[in-house]
Structure 1
Amino acid sequence: MSNPKRPEQPANLARRNFLGAAGGLAVAAASVGAAAMAPVAEAAANPAAAPSDKEPFWGQHQGGIVTPQQRYTCFAAFDVTTNKRDELIEILKHWTIAAARMSEGRPVYPLDSTKDTEPPADSADVLEISPARLTITFGFGPTLFSKEGVDRFGIARRRPQALVDLPRFNGDQLAADKTGGDISIQACSDDPQVAFHAVRQLARLAYGKADMKWVQNGFTGDGSKGTPRNLMGFKDGTVNPPLNDHAALNKLVWVGSEGDWMRDGSYMVVRRVRIALEHWDRSPLDFQEQVVGRHKYSGAPLGKLNEFDAADLDAADSDGNPIVPDNAHMRLASAAANQGMQILRRGYSYNDGANFTAERWPPWRQEVEFDAGLLFFGYQQDPRTGFIPINHQLAKLDIMNQFITHVGSGIFACPPGAQPGSFIGATLFG
């Protein structure tokens, strides 16, 4: 390139209203995709050389799906307020550049790209902090393709058949301000400040063109010490397909050639599940284990010794009763009970303080309780054969329902990863 400084100083991005600079952005995106992103491309090609605190952004698949799970997440759903296709594409290009830079531990744009009289290029709250394996995963909701019957961006005909509207499940008490959205962003990192910073910067870049609809932070245990536990105290994610089993991932998680522009992408369902912790904490240990279908401390299926022992769903006690109850969560969610279907869980706990609530089941307490629970993310090749039938069964029969309530929800098509010089969602708009 004639100007090696170009990737560090994309044209027109220093302006206060830089989202209007479509021409400058196109040049900047191409530049970032070359010299500025060379270290990321090199690390992706040679994983052994990749720094342990960095995850590659560019690639066949988006990061944050089969990436070994980080300890913290910040999830945000956005509603696009512009009705102009070019401005939507422009937002995605800005987000792509910013996400790639932040995953390397760099500011959104170079700090010298703005004048002192203009807002800074980056909020600067993580300048000296490692990216801590930051990944940023983008998804497109059904309402991005059409809303209230209006095809705002000329893409309604390209809405994937698998991107269905989620049905109302038995027991759902979904809050409108924690449900849906045109575009989702999930930032994951081993540092909570880094994850929040990423979402904050992307929200700032889209100001005036896309508004945040809802945001939820989450946390989990240290996965290097074994399967993390959720707030119920049980290990969460034991039966996930192995992340190094490419055949299983191609069958269960990644979209194939049938997906057209979604090939190498995945479908994500997010559910905000409130847990009545006060009710749960007063329940006897043996009852908790029957609810889950596993021993609490070892994580083993009931009747087994080790966490990863195969569950024997046909085993019965001396009275002929099943060792794993018919309405146990583990039984109803198992592949054996769902025609072999699995999804990839990336669950996080959340704790949003406390508020007044009324329990759904006896003793029907009405009091101030923890607003805490599970932020469930499920990735799959097709939600019509994955999450939807599995959750229909759980919603109707799972004994755990006396302790949990689904209060937030969303479904998003997560496109394939971006290649250097391109942007997230390019296959949709091509």
Structure 2
Amino acid sequence: MTDPSNGSADAPAPAGAAPGAGAGLSRRGVLGLALGAGAAGLALGAGAGATTGVAVGRAREQDAAASVYDYYGAHQAGITTPVQDHLHFASFDMMARTDRDDLVTLLQDWSYAAARMTQGLDVSATGAVGGSPEAPPDDTGEALGLAASGLTITFGFGPSLFENDEGDRYGLATRRPAQLEKLPAFLGDDLDPALSGGDLCIQACADDPQVAVHAIRNLSRIAFGRARLRWSQLGFGRTSRTTAAQATPRNLFGFKDGTANILATDDAALADHVWVGAADEPAWMAGGSYLVARKIAMLIETWDRVRLSEQESIIGRTKGVGAPLSGGDEFTEPDFDATGAGGQPAIATTSHVRLAHPELNDGIRILRRGYNFVDGNNELGRLDAGLFFLSYQRSPEQFVRLQRSLSTDTMNEYIRHVGSGLWAVPAGAQPGSFVGAALFA
């Protein structure tokens, strides 16, 4: 990212800019950068997994590195944006004894910093090396010299932000969307509270893992004294696509994942299934969406001992080209009436493809943006790995319906849901304002 000592300047604040949104960090944000310099790095290390050093020594000049996405817009970036290769996801809780003003200024400060970092700039005008040598730098500096690398930063509000055991901390209880409730329990859940929930979430995606980590690290520092990191997750090797130009990627079971995902060019499907409509309630969520995150542990070693034909039967597609077992190529619509040898269904009735298909779920679709993860080894010496599932939908009920449909999925024998969260993702911020401003109007 740009070194401000070599000529970069802070972008001028638009007329009427809210403090922290375009005019610079608030005093609390600057204080957070100074006081949180050590704490943020230590906290993030616990959830970062084994891939934080991937960027060291790798080639920096790639076509993807030149991608720049605007932070401002009708919708938040990072939803229909072409899915990047790397993810750093973080969940935060507001600190005790914080008030509404603390929350608002935090969102303003985060918006200001995100608008800069997504353009390949340091977190502030003085940045990593442009300030006083006798004070901690505003920016941690690990992204110096790196391009924006397609960085997108997406913010969400959890159910507990509106009301928790302490009550209505920020005067927002009456503004909570009726659909924004803790997800119900599902068959096969083995959820760890330390990997679930949170008042706020940040999804940072980039084509360089170091750029994504840099974003979460610096936003965590800015939050110091107002919000604390609850849990975080690194992801790699996207398991979905949002443009026709992107090849369908593979998950850690070796199968193509996201073949039938909603694409950014499908305006009708996005309006029906992803974006909250102008007539939906509450009005402040118009143009936004709802984000579900699920950390799904895969029993890798067990799966690797399953014969190929059974693997394909469980998924409902061929492992090679990803075609449905009823025939055709990857993008051929599955034929659930087709039969194979012996008159049995060509696609098993308990296969993942069949149970998740819109045809059997009243046409319900979701937009997926998941990632693979490997967090080292567990206490048994097996890979602690799996899928960090992310989906965006117009209503959380879409995900609930699909997840319940998957209760008889044969694949459940090889996976465990260990983390979970739901967040309301407001519409995109406008220049001079900040993310979620309509919530406080």
SS in 1 for 2:343: coil
SS in 2 for 1:138: strand
Please say which of residues 312-321 and 195-204 is displaced more in the overlay.
312-321
1:343 is matched with: 366
- Pick one of 186, 206, 215 that aligns with 1:189: 206
Paired residues of 1:76 and 1:186 also in contact (CA < 8 A): yes
1:270 is matched with: 293
Please say which of residues 338-347 and 10-19 is displaced more in the overlay.
10-19
Which letter does structure 2 place at the counterpart of 1:108? V
Which letter does structure 2 place at the counterpart of 1:392? R
Which letter does structure 1 place at the counterpart of 2:285? M
Structure 1, unmatched stretches of 5+, are 21-50, 357-366
Quote the Cα distance in structure 2 between the aligned partners of 1:170 and 1:338. 18
Shift of 1:321: 1.1
Shift of 1:127: 1.3
Quote the Cα distance in structure 2 between the aligned partners of 1:182 and 1:221. 26
Shift of 1:418: 0.2
Q: Where in structure 2 are the equivalents of 1:375-394 lying within 5 Å?
A: 375-384=388-397, 386-394=398-406
Shift of 1:111: 2.1
- Pick one of 397, 403, 415 that aligns with 2:426: 415
TM-score, normalised by the number of residues in structure 1: 0.86
Shift of 1:4: 8.9
Q: Where in structure 2 are the equivalents of 1:160-239 lying within 5 Å?
A: 160-220=177-237, 226-239=247-260
2:357 is matched with: 334
Paired residues of 2:25 and 2:124 also in contact (CA < 8 A): no
Quote the Cα distance in structure 2 between the aligned partners of 1:221 and 1:141. 24
Quote the Cα distance in structure 1 between the aligned partners of 2:212 and 2:345. 44
1:424 is matched with: 435
Shift of 1:18: 6.2
1:95 is matched with: 110
Shift of 1:233: 0.6
Paired residues of 1:252 and 1:343 also in contact (CA < 8 A): yes
Which letter does structure 1 place at the counterpart of 2:381? V
Shift of 1:83: 2.7
Paired residues of 2:33 and 2:138 also in contact (CA < 8 A): no
SS in 1 for 2:381: strand
> Is residue 2:312 matched to residue 1:289?
yes
Quote the Cα distance in structure 1 between the aligned partners of 2:23 and 2:427. 27
Distance 1:238 1:208, change over 3 A: same
Paired residues of 1:348 and 1:374 also in contact (CA < 8 A): yes
For residues 267-302 of structure 1, what are the alpha-carbon distances to aligned partners after superposition, in whole Å with 9 as ceiling and x for unaligned?
000000000000011110000000100000101111
- Pick one of 374, 381, 396 that aligns with 2:387: 374
Q: Where in structure 2 are the equivalents of 1:42-81 lying within 5 Å?
A: 52-81=66-95
Quote the Cα distance in structure 1 between the aligned partners of 2:178 and 2:410. 32
> Is residue 2:103 matched to residue 1:83?
no
Quote the Cα distance in structure 2 between the aligned partners of 1:248 and 1:103. 27
Which letter does structure 2 place at the counterpart of 1:229? R
Query: What's the C-alpha RMSD, in Å, of the aligned pairs?
Result: 2.2
Which letter does structure 2 place at the counterpart of 1:196? V
Quote the Cα distance in structure 2 between the aligned partners of 1:422 and 1:105. 20
SS in 2 for 1:215: strand
Structure 2, unmatched stretches of 5+, are 1-8, 14-21, 35-64
SS in 2 for 1:197: helix
For residues 159-218 of structure 1, what are the alpha-carbon distances to aligned partners after superposition, in whole Å with 9 as ceiling and x for unaligned?
001212200101100001100000000000000000011000000000111000000000
Paired residues of 1:14 and 1:114 also in contact (CA < 8 A): no
Which letter does structure 2 place at the counterpart of 1:204? R
Runs of 4+ in 1 over 6 A off after TM superposition: none
Quote the Cα distance in structure 2 between the aligned partners of 1:121 and 1:204. 9
Quote the Cα distance in structure 1 between the aligned partners of 2:408 and 2:315. 13
Quote the Cα distance in structure 1 between the aligned partners of 2:311 and 2:26. 59
SS in 2 for 1:89: helix
1:400 is matched with: 411
* Identity percentage of aligned residues: 45
Quote the Cα distance in structure 1 between the aligned partners of 2:176 and 2:420. 19
1:40 is matched with: none
Quote the Cα distance in structure 1 between the aligned partners of 2:308 and 2:226. 51
Which letter does structure 1 place at the counterpart of 2:109? H
Paired residues of 1:15 and 1:114 also in contact (CA < 8 A): no
> Is residue 2:31 matched to residue 1:17?
yes
Distance 1:323 1:94, change over 3 A: same
Quote the Cα distance in structure 2 between the aligned partners of 1:104 and 1:5. 11
Shift of 1:12: 6.1
SS in 1 for 2:382: strand
Quote the Cα distance in structure 2 between the aligned partners of 1:4 and 1:132. 20
1:311 is matched with: 334
SS in 2 for 1:200: helix
Shift of 1:225: 5.9
Paired residues of 1:236 and 1:347 also in contact (CA < 8 A): no
2:55 is matched with: none
SS in 2 for 1:96: helix
Paired residues of 2:88 and 2:232 also in contact (CA < 8 A): yes
Which letter does structure 2 place at the counterpart of 1:239? A
1:279 is matched with: 302
1:361 is matched with: none
2:149 is matched with: 132
For residues 365-405 of structure 1, what are the alpha-carbon distances to aligned partners after superposition, in whole Å with 9 as ceiling and x for unaligned?
xx321000000001000011x100110121x2010001000
Quote the Cα distance in structure 2 between the aligned partners of 1:187 and 1:12. 22
Paired residues of 1:145 and 1:156 also in contact (CA < 8 A): yes
